[in-house]
Amino acid sequence: MVTENRDRERPTVSYLVRFWLEPREQESETSPLRGYVRDLHSGQEQYFGDPRKLAEHILRRLRVEQQQIQDETESIEDAVG
């Protein structure tokens, strides 16, 4: 069961993402697509009117998380020597 231990040690980031169509005011209009993302670790929530902006937000957060993990790893390696 070594794999289970590795999975628990592996840093993860979890998001809840929801999309929905807003009601149309007129039949001829296209329903706007809206989105919502919640970081399940921090509880931070953000709403988006453009799904591309939502995806960009998640990618930015993942890059920040990745950099923090790399910085922490380097600090530990430096401390251990």
What was the pLDDT predicted at 78? 80
Question: 33 forms bridges with which residues in the sheet?
Answer: 21
Q: H/E element holding 20?
A: strand 15-21
Q: Which domain holds residue 58?
A: 2-80
What is the number of structural domains in the chain?
A: 1
C-alpha torsion sign, points 73, 75, 79, 81: positive
Phi, psi of 6 (to 5 degrees): -65, -40
**Segment 23-74, tens digit of pLDDT:** 888 888 888 899 999 999 899 999 999 989 999 999 998 898 888 888 887 8
Q: H/E element holding 62?
A: helix 51-80
Q: What is the mean pLDDT of residues 6-10?
A: 60
* First CA to last CA distance, the chain: 30
> How many residues does this entry show for the chain?
81
